[in-house]
């Protein structure tokens, strides 16, 4: 089976790569419509075709990918059935990959080559996935737009003048543009959900500890969650079944069974109670974004859900709490990069990293610790309690991902506070350790936006149920970018 390469996109069989889901690809491989080598080569050709404009990748692993694809074809011929066998994927360049450069999008680690794989990378490889490259991101995951990368910003595939969201910027671009069928990300304050929303793909931030953090460059250790991007909710559920689970190398991963998340993909929402927090619809929410979110709630009602108004009073303090705790942990985590064991010296840190190191050092310093860091941790507990009370009334919470749609590249780079406020609706889930699923919800002035579904700890199956029912009604993910 041959694939074609044209000016817009590569196709394999009769399917355009931008339209191909993981489940589609698995079916095509099973039915011998194409081989893993052909599928992987098509993805690599799509990178060559599109990435000069999108800047989604820092490193492309063509040789390694094709070798893995040949091995996958051998296994397929032998009748081996693995969850992601022969599927081309991309990894955010925070994930350690043995023998493959891992930069964290920073010049500090420009030539760093790890000697081991992150646990998630090991699991994905064991499931048969084929890594086509490492994706661009804000350096050290510090940012909401992708503009803080030392390798230049990734571009929104729906309009190259706009940001794709951050910090996991390159990963959703790769999925949306058909350069990979799945890509990993990290979410410390919204860094999966925000770019998923801005790129019209599905993005999951799992419960804190549901997926191992071992081998992933740390940003803020008590907030970091490891997730992924896919085109559909069904694909997303499949991938979480691979990556989730206890890891002896990460003490924050609990000893809990990993369910078959795909079993929970239902069409209706009868009996499901959806909470709508009034604080998320207050001043600062763009009117067009509010209308989009209200339309989404209408769809959920039409599928049988009951919508209930709730309150999360301490969420109004969340952005302040987040930027105290996060910068404190950033300053601690970045202290290890001293150029003695590996990497370049500290003069290679970018402006945003320096800003966060200074803020974090300040809030942890003698005389200010109680006033800032300790107080922030106390309010964090109150935010957790807010959610506990809310989930006594409702099964899940639905809200906008961002107060606005994507902005033009450069529009907020001179105003860090404005940039930080783009996370105002997402940081609460990280503070409380909750799972959050971003699903496409439509377009505003030609640019994508999404809604997020939040649930209690370890309720990912419920989020997939709600997200899948919504997706089946709307099908926004099928609106591919015309890059």
Q: How do the pLDDT tens digits run along the chain, 483 residues long?
A: 444 554 456 888 777 888 999 999 999 999 999 999 999 999 999 999 999 999 999 999 999 999 999 999 999 999 999 999 999 999 999 999 999 999 999 999 999 999 999 999 999 999 999 999 999 999 999 999 999 999 999 999 999 999 999 999 999 999 999 999 999 999 999 999 999 999 999 999 999 999 999 999 999 999 999 999 999 999 999 999 999 999 999 999 999 999 999 999 998 999 999 999 999 988 789 999 999 999 999 999 999 999 999 999 999 999 999 999 999 999 999 999 999 989 999 999 999 999 999 999 999 999 999 999 999 999 999 999 999 999 999 999 999 999 999 999 999 999 988 999 999 999 999 999 999 999 999 999 999 999 999 999 999 999 999 999 999 999 999 999 987
| Active-site residue, from 149, 191, 402, 449 | 191
Q: How far apart are CA 60 and CA 44, in angstroms?
A: 8
| Active-site residue, from 26, 92, 155, 462 | 92
Q: Is 231 helix (H, G, I), strand (E, B) or coil?
A: coil
pLDDT at 282: 81
Q: Cβ distance 279 to 313 under 8 Å?
A: yes
Extents of the domains making up the chain: 3-478
Q: Cβ distance 287 to 320 under 8 Å?
A: no
Alpha-helical (H) ranges within 127-276 are 170-176, 193-199, 233-243
Residue 291 annotated in active site: no
Q: Cβ distance 186 to 169 under 8 Å?
A: no
- State the pTM of this model: 0.97
Chain centroid, CA 363 distance in Å: 28
User: Over the range 254-282, which residues count as b (16 or more CB within 10 Å of their CB) and which as e?
Assistant: eeeeeeebbebbeeebeebebbbbebbbe
Q: Provide the strand spans (E) within 169-313.
A: 182-187, 202-205, 225-230, 273-277, 306-310
**Tokens at residue 442, please?**
């439509």
| Active-site residue, from 145, 167, 212, 459 | 167
Residue 412 annotated in active site: no
Residue 167 annotated in active site: yes
pLDDT at 8: 58
Q: Provide the strand spans (E) within 22-78.
A: 57-60
**Fold of domain 3-478:** Amidase signature (AS) enzymes (3.90.1300)
């Amino acid at each position: 089976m041959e694939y074609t390469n044209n000016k817009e996109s590569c196709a394999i069989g009769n399917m355009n790569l931008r339209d191909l889901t993981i489940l589609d690809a698995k079916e095509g491989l099973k039915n011998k419509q194409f081989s893993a080598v052909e599928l992987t080569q098509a993805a690599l050709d799509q990178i060559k075709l599109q990435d000069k404009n999108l800047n989604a990748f820092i490193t492309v692993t063509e040789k390694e990918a094709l070798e893995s694809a040949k091995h996958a074809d051998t296994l397929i011929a032998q009748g081996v059935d693995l969850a992601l066998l022969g599927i081309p994927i991309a990894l955010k360049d925070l994930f350690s990959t043995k023998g493959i450069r891992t930069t964290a999008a920073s010049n500090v680690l420009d030539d760093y080559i790890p000697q081991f794989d992150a646990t998630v990378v090991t699991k994905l490889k064991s499931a048969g996935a084929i890594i086509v490259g490492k994706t661009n991101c804000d350096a050290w995951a510090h940012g909401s737009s992708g503009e803080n990368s030392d390798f230049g910003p990734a571009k929104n595939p729906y309009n190259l003048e706009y940001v794709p969201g951050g910090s996991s910027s390159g990963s959703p671009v790769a999925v949306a543009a058909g350069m990979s069928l799945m890509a990993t990300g990290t979410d410390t304050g919204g860094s999966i959900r925000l770019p998923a929303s801005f790129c019209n793909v599905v993005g999951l931030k799992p419960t804190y500890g549901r997926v191992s953090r071992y081998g992933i460059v740390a940003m803020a250790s008590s907030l970091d969650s490891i997730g992924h991007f896919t085109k559909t909710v069904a694909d997303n559920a499949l991938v979480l079944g691979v990556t989730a689970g206890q890891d002896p190398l990460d003490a924050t991963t609990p000893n809990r069974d990993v369910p078959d998340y795909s079993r929970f993909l239902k069409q209706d929402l009868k009996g499901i109670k959806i909470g709508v927090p009034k604080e998320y619809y207050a001043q600062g929410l763009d009117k067009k974004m509010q209308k989009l979110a209200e339309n989404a709630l209408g769809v959920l009602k039409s599928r049988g859900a009951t919508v209930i108004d709730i309150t999360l009073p301490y969420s109004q303090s969340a952005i302040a709490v987040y930027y105290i705790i996060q910068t404190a942990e950033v300053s601690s985590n970045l202290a290890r990069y001293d150029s003695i064991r590996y990497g370049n010296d500290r003069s290679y840190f970018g402006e945003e990293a320096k800003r966060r190191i200074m803020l974090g050092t300040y809030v942890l310093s003698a005389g200010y610790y109680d006033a800032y860091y300790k107080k922030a941790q106390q309010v964090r507990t109150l935010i957790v309690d807010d959610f506990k009370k809310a989930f006594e009334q409702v099964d899940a919470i639905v809200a906008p991902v961002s107060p606005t749609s994507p902005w033009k590249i450069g529009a907020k780079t001179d105003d860090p506070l404005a940039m930080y406020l783009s996370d105002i609706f997402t940081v609460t889930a990280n503070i409380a350790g909750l799972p959050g699923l971003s699903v496409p919800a439509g377009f505003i002035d030609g640019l994508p936006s999404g809604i997020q579904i939040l649930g209690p700890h370890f309720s990912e199956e419920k989020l997939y149920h709600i997200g899948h029912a919504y997706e089946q009604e709307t099908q926004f993910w099928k609106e591919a970018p015309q890059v």
